[in-house]
Amino acid sequence: MQKRTISYMVVAVFLLIGLAPVLSMLINSIVAEGRFSLGAYSSVLTSARQWNLMAHSAVLSLLVSTFATCLGVPLGLLLGKTDLPFKKTLTALFVIPLLIPPYIIAVAWVDFLGIQHLKGLWACVLVLSSAFLPIPMLLTMIFLRTINPRLEEAARLVSGWAGVLKTITLPLILPGILLGGIVVFLLTFGEFGVPNFLRYDVFAVESFTQFSAFYNFKAATASSVPLALVTLLVLLVEARFLRERTYQIRPTPDSIQSSTSIRLGKEKHFWLGMASLLAMALVIVPLLVLLLRSEGLNSYTQALERAGHSMVRSVTYAFWGATLLTIMGFFLGYIIHTKALAFWRSVDSFTIFLFALPATVIGIGLISLWNTPWTNFVYGTAAIIILGYLAKYTALTSRIMVTQFAQVPASMEEAAHISGAGWARTMFFIVAPLAKRGLLAGWIVAYIFSIRDTGISMLVYPPGHETLPVRIFTLMANGSEQLIAALCVLMIAATLVPAAILWSVPRLLAKRKVP
């Protein structure tokens, strides 16, 4: 009883945070002066410019997902399937672009090549492909670990690794590869920071501009709805073709797992060189350019003077956002994992829908719902930003918790019940401690995504609550290159340093315990 009541309450809170803004936005878009009207839509749908923008968005998203997948999958195979030296270091390096706002990478490339050489479609493809490359790479690595090694061993008895990869391994991880492509497509489709900076008009920029530049809320809402519909359509296709294709997913003991890694032999140095070159080109060079361009202490002092408060706010909001996201993800993950409610699948799908939904759509939805005289305690404070984080990023923590719960035997919980503990006590004293690794990982991921968030914060931040990514974005119009570069470096530090400390501390403590 306790379990069901709390589960219903958690889902109700999440629906208020995530579903209500989207519904409010939809209703607002079809009501004009108290009457039903499709006027806002007709102006969007009959405009050739809007269709042209939609085509731009589709082309950009297709190109970025193709490039990121074509590069990310081989990279994932190299880092996840072979005995390449320095795999962990290289993996960490390649993941960095995903952890920072993509427009910071754009700033670095523009600093390096100059805006006259880097603008338009192909510039956006370069920047966004390198920013989203870690997604197909990581998904490939994760799906590789779920393959039963016996399936590959059975093939190795009759074929070399090339044949095994082509006929067995890659078809088995195909759902993961396609999923990576779809996620990159949706993230690119909703991205407005990079296309805006690199001067390539796309649909997401349009809805942002309608709101922030012209304050035409009806037009902004109407132009958000096509973005939401495309997201929904792509996710429906994903659900139809991919969800059931997970084959035999089972973790394996390390001793057995090691036998399925490909030994590169004499080619080891060649592949290490190739991976290092790629890391140099896509990660190290842009970061170095930012460091060099920031030109010493003066720029940093100036950056802290002009954006120090924003930096503190960003860290604070991300801290609270991550904490609430972890709690929400814990309960929703539990509901999904244990199928505690009949509509658990809908809850799961809805969190994913919100994650895939362009940030501008969620931002406009939040404004539509909370911008009333009675709800100013939310709309006029940092709470609106944190609600935005919760709406958009809960899928990340809930999915991490589902994976973690899968590794906790159901008998642990059952044993607690047999011992006389109620559900809440069991969750607090048994399930949560057993899932602590997932909670920590979820918190770190949530912190990173909250602090790097630009799309929602940019639309909803109240006066005096500007976050660092928003501050950088606004200063980009009139700040010096040195100042912007210094701010970007501070942004990267504010993201990576707390996450790295939190990640390392438990490991260091665990090492100390070993006699």
Partner 1 sequence: MKSIELDSVSKAYGNETVLLDFSLDIEPGERVVLLGPSGCGKTTILRLVAGFIKPDSGSVSLDGQVVSRDKRILVPPQHRKLGMVFQDLALWPHLSVRGNLEFGLRAKGISKNEREAKTQKTLELVGMGGYGHRKPDELSGGQQQRVALARALVLEPKVLLMDEPLSSLDLELNRRLRKELVRLQEKLEITLLYVTHDREEASHIATRTISMEKGRISSN
Residues that bind partner 1 (CB under 8 A): 148, 150-151, 153-160, 163, 167-168, 171-172, 247-248, 255, 259
Measure the CA–CA gap between 44 and 56, rounded to whole angstroms.
16
Q: Which is nearer to partner 1, 179 or 278 (CB)?
A: 179
Q: How far is the CB of 257 from partner 1 (least distance, A)?
A: 11
Q: Which of residues 35 and 266 has its CB atom nearest to partner 1 in the complex?
A: 266
Query: Cβ 335 to partner 1, closest distance in Å?
Result: 29
Q: Give whichever of 160 and 422 is closer to partner 1, judged by the CB atom.
A: 160
Q: Which residues pair with 262 in a beta bridge?
A: 82
How far lies 401's CA from each of 326, 353, 432, 440, 486, in Å? 9, 18, 10, 10, 36
Closer to partner 1 by CB, 158 or 510: give it. Answer: 158
Of residues 257 and 346, the one with the C-beta less far from partner 1: 257
Closest contact distance (angstroms) between CB of 146 and partner 1 is 13
Q: Which is nearer to partner 1, 39 or 163 (CB)?
A: 163
Closest listed residue to residue 104, CA positions, set 493, 386, 466? 493
Shortest distance, CB of residue 509 to partner 1, whole angstroms?
22
Q: What is the DSSP string of 470-507?
A: HHHHHHTTTS-HHHHHHHHHHHHHHHHHHHHHHHHHHH
Q: Which is nearer to partner 1, 120 or 171 (CB)?
A: 171
Concatenated DSSP letters for 31-46?
EETTEE--HHHHHHHT
- Strand 35-36 and strand 31-32: the pairing is antiparallel
Residue 36, φ and ψ in degrees, nearest 5: -65, 130
Nearest-approach distance from CB 273 to partner 1, in angstroms: 25
Closest contact distance (angstroms) between CB of 415 and partner 1 is 24
Shortest approach of partner 1 to residue 513 CB, angstroms? 17
Closest to partner 1 by CB, 248 vs 372, is 248
Q: How far is the CB of 428 from partner 1 (least distance, A)?
A: 35
Whether residue 23 contacts residue 212, with contact meaning beta carbons closer than 8 Å, is answered with no
Q: List 31's β-bridge partners, or say none.
A: 36
Q: Which is nearer to partner 1, 150 or 436 (CB)?
A: 150
**DSSP assignment of 125-159:** HHHHHHHHTHHHHHHHHHHHHHB-HHHHHHHHTTS
Name every residue whose Cβ is closer than 8 Å to that of residue 420 and which is 6 or more positions away in sequence.
none
Q: What is the smallest separation between the CB atom of 259 and partner 1, expressed in angstroms?
A: 5
CA quadruple 132, 220, 230, 355: dihedral sign:
positive
When the beta carbons of 175 and 286 are compared against partner 1, the nearer one is 175
Q: How far is the CB of 66 from partner 1 (least distance, A)?
A: 23
Q: Which is nearer to partner 1, 23 or 151 (CB)?
A: 151
Scanning 199-296, the segments in alpha helix (DSSP H) are 203-212, 217-241, 254-257, 268-279, 285-293
Distance in Å, CB of 185 to partner 1, minimum: 24
- H helices of 46-148, in order, are 48-81, 87-99, 102-113, 121-132, 134-146
CA distance 348 to 398: 8
Q: Which is nearer to partner 1, 113 or 155 (CB)?
A: 155
Helix (H) / strand (E) element for 36: namely strand 35-36
Q: Are 19 and 347 in contact (CB under 8 A)?
A: no
* In the complex, minimum distance from the CB of residue 246 to partner 1, in angstroms, rounded to a whole number: 10
Nearest approach in angstroms of CB 143 to partner 1 is 13
Q: Which residues contact 188 (CB under 8 A, 6 or more apart)?
A: 60, 61, 64, 65, 128, 132
Give the Cβ contact number of residue 270 at 10 Å.
10
Q: Which of 65, 66, 70, 75 is nearest to 137 (CA)?
A: 75
What span, in angstroms and rounded, lies between the C-alpha atoms of 353 and 361?
12
Segment (H or E) for 31: strand 31-32
Residue 4 or 166 with smaller CB distance to partner 1: 166
- Distance of alpha carbon 223 from the chain centroid: 23
Contact (CB, 8 A) for 476 and 484 = yes
